[in-house]
Amino acid sequence: MLKKSIFGQMFAFTVLVFLICFFVIGTIMYGFLGDYLTKKNEGELNYIAERLSEMTMEGKNDTSGLFHKLYQINLNAISDSTGTFIIVMDENGQTLVNSGDGISVSVRSEFFKSVLTGKTEKYIGTLGGVFNRTMLTVARPIRSEGNVVGAVFVNLPIPEIHRIRSDVVKIFILSACFVIIVALVFIYILSRRLTKPIKAINYAAKSIASGDFARRVDIRAENEIGELGETFNQMADSLEQLEHVRRSFIANVSHELRTPMTTITGFVEGIMDGTIPPEMQKQYLSIVLDESKRLSRLVTDLLDLSKMEQGEFPLEMREFDINEMIRLNIIKAEKRIMEKDIQLTVSFQRDSQRVLADKDSIQRVLTNLMDNAIKFTQNGGFLDIRTGVANGKTYVAIQNSGMGIAKNELTHVFDRFYKTDKSRSQDKSGAGLGLYIVKNIIQAHGETIWAESEPGEFARFNFTLKSAKNEGKQVK
């Protein structure tokens, strides 16, 4: 397919606009110029006819032949100097004299009849066949003491008017051509300035499409092209980050899937080939079962994560008591809390703290946060859970003692597959998806979640929920 350059399109469009404008202006100017020249020449012809009428009346009573000779000479001189043909006739319509040398001219009555009644007329044509080309004729009556005694016909060839008009049109066309040439130069320069950054963006886009996500464009123009360059670089940054996330995601998923699969495969093979004695098989099958459950949880988390990112994770908003949900979660985790001798503190600002949210999703949030808090609390440590209302929102805070989270890691704890325990000494079963899913659930509710920590002392996770209209009674 033939490529159309920006320069070609801009030039074609500009030339088309110029041609249309010049055509319209030229047509209007051509018509106005014709009318102007016709009126101007009509006025000049009328002036000549008036002077000839006066000159004719001056020699009316002169019977000598000298005046008639001088009259003819003057008539011819006026005709030659003005480019006109002059006819003088009497009151009967008979031609007395004309500016043609020895030419006999007879004007039909239809052209002089109204003139001899005292009217001044204008004709455009051949004057009934008197001339062989189109003429502009002004016919003026000759008066003597109020009576019409003859008429003067002053005729100017129309082609002369056309010639002047054509000369002006030629100048106009030459000017138009000059303007188009100048426009061509400026359009070429402008198109180069426009296409250079666009070509750079196009080249960078092709590089990114081929896998070079580090490619950027350097466009420093303070206009829409500059904004396009900045937007393109931002898009490239996002794509590079997405590619990094994709690769990291694949690597992490592969690792998380490989670990339980390797354990399951190894123990099953050991049982089948007799490496593991029968009395130990139950113990190892228990490990296989735990790894299978871990694998199932990972797959479930990945499926839920996919639904969340595609907006296919519906929320069923309803009122419930967040404090009661926390109490039930504490009962479920009681055994683990007692095993680690954790000092538990629960502080509710209100006895019943009702919120409007998706109950199952918030149950998942609480389970995950409390599970992490218990997991990372050292033996003999403390766990503090609080709820209340601040700025019209219900808040939940879960704090535990322990190693805490480093300041530079606080902004990453909610990332996919991120683990603050790099050695996995304490977190051997998690895949690093729990907090990412928790963040997505809270954000889907239009609320916020954040982490606070003092390394070596505590870590605290806080999130907000929409308070229900009936928030319950305040604890005394």
The pLDDT value recorded for residue 152 is 92
pLDDT digits (tens, 9 = 90+) for 335-392: 999 999 999 999 999 899 999 999 988 998 999 899 999 999 999 999 999 999 998 8
Is residue 405 predicted with pLDDT exceeding 60?
A: yes
In the chain, CATH 1.10.287.130 sits at: 224-309
Q: Please, are residues 370 and 333 in contact by the beta-carbon 8 Å criterion?
A: yes
The pLDDT value recorded for residue 161 is 62
The pLDDT value recorded for residue 475 is 42
Per-residue pLDDT averaged across 463-472, rounded? 80
Confidence bin at 447 (pLDDT 50/70/90): very high
Q: Which has more confidence, 439 or 248?
A: 439
Confidence bin at 428 (pLDDT 50/70/90): very low
Confidence bin at 417 (pLDDT 50/70/90): low
In the chain, CATH 3.30.450.20 sits at: 6-163
pLDDT digits (tens, 9 = 90+) for 139-182: 999 988 888 889 999 998 876 666 776 777 788 788 878 887 88
* CATH tag for 224-309 (out of 1.10.287.130, 3.90.180.10, 3.40.630.30, 2.40.30.20): 1.10.287.130
* CATH tag for 6-163 (out of 1.10.645.10, 3.20.20.10, 1.10.1530.10, 3.30.450.20): 3.30.450.20
Q: Which has more confidence, 452 or 2?
A: 452
In the chain, CATH 3.30.565.10 sits at: 317-467
Alpha-carbon distance of 295 to 30, in angstroms, equals 89
Percentage of the chain lying above the pLDDT 70 cut? 87
Per-residue pLDDT averaged across 256-262, rounded? 76
Top mean-pLDDT range of 17-21, 101-105, 331-335: 331-335
The pLDDT value recorded for residue 362 is 93
The pLDDT value recorded for residue 344 is 93
Is residue 60 predicted with pLDDT exceeding 70?
A: no
The pLDDT value recorded for residue 3 is 57
Residue in 5, 35, 31, 16 with CA at minimum distance from that of residue 202: 5
Is residue 429 predicted with pLDDT exceeding 70?
A: no
Alpha-carbon distance of 48 to 156, in angstroms, equals 11
Per-residue pLDDT averaged across 74-92, rounded? 88
The pLDDT value recorded for residue 61 is 64
The pLDDT value recorded for residue 422 is 46
Sign of CA dihedral 160, 161, 167, 173: negative
Percentage of the chain lying above the pLDDT 90 cut? 21
The pLDDT value recorded for residue 373 is 92
Alpha-carbon distance of 68 to 64, in angstroms, equals 8
Alpha-carbon distance of 429 to 432, in angstroms, equals 9
The pLDDT value recorded for residue 73 is 85
The pLDDT value recorded for residue 476 is 38
pLDDT digits (tens, 9 = 90+) for 192-250: 777 778 788 888 888 888 878 777 887 777 777 778 788 878 888 888 877 776 777 67
In this structure, whether the domain defined by 317-467 belongs to CATH 3.30.565.10 is answered with yes
Is residue 310 predicted with pLDDT exceeding 80?
A: no
The pLDDT value recorded for residue 466 is 94
Give me the helix-helix angle, 224-272 and 158-209, nearest 10°. Answer: 30
The pLDDT value recorded for residue 365 is 92
Per-residue pLDDT averaged across 117-123, rounded? 89
Other C-beta atoms lying within 10 Å of the C-beta of residue 28: 10
Per-residue pLDDT averaged across 293-298, rounded? 77
Strand partners, 157: 135
Is residue 112 predicted with pLDDT exceeding 80?
A: yes
Alpha-carbon distance of 357 to 466, in angstroms, equals 7
pTM: 0.48
